[in-house]
Amino acid sequence: MPERPEVSLRPFESADAPAVHRWFNNPAATASLMEQRAAFSLEEAEAWVGRAMDDSGEDRKYAIVVEGHEEPVGFTALYGLFRQTAPELGALIGDDVRGKGVGRHAEALTLARAFDEFGAHRVYGRIPARNEVAKKTVAGLGWKHEGTMRAHLRREEGPPDDCEIWGVLPEEFRAAAADLLPERGAKRTSISDSS
């Protein structure tokens, strides 16, 4: 099995706008997103990055950094933190690093933050039913399919897409992601053993 690339998350920086512009104009990356745009200008990318840098609200966005790449290759997000309801995970791999475990690792790092840093009791996601890659990724992190909203996503070309609801609890995630976050599992064990 080929070695997984080193993946990390970092806060967004204003210099990331060209990368964001590239991702949202990559048809292969955006084809299976929940919401799609006809165009995304550099000015819109700059505004998007400005909002991503703001951590005063309920949302957090993280740039995905892969060893050997000068710019971030995508992002993950947690939407709706600090509520009684669970936060939602969002993700986009905008550059050509798909199929190498980058998305799974980045989502695992984001989920670890949701549970360990923000104290989320669960995380959920909405996934277009035809996005088999996203469903396989979350299933590999312990998520369960919880239901389907039929014809939920209107599309310019073709019939509406169904939208599936997936969710994961902390213990399900920790068991499934132990191979990606072994040091976190060890810390948790020692903390729970001492209490």
Q: What's the CATH number where 51 sits?
A: 3.40.630.30
- Give the model confidence (pLDDT) of 49-60 as tens digits: 999 999 999 999
Q: What pLDDT is stored for residue 2 in this prediction?
A: 52
CA diameter of the chain? 57
Q: What pLDDT is stored for residue 50 in this prediction?
A: 98
In a domain, 195, yes or no: no
Q: What pLDDT is stored for residue 194 in this prediction?
A: 30
Q: What pLDDT is stored for residue 69 in this prediction?
A: 94
| Domain containing residue 106 | 7-187
**Number of separate domains in the chain:** 1
In a domain, 152, yes or no: yes
CA separation for the pair 81, 57 (Å, rounded): 8
In a domain, 193, yes or no: no
In a domain, 2, yes or no: no
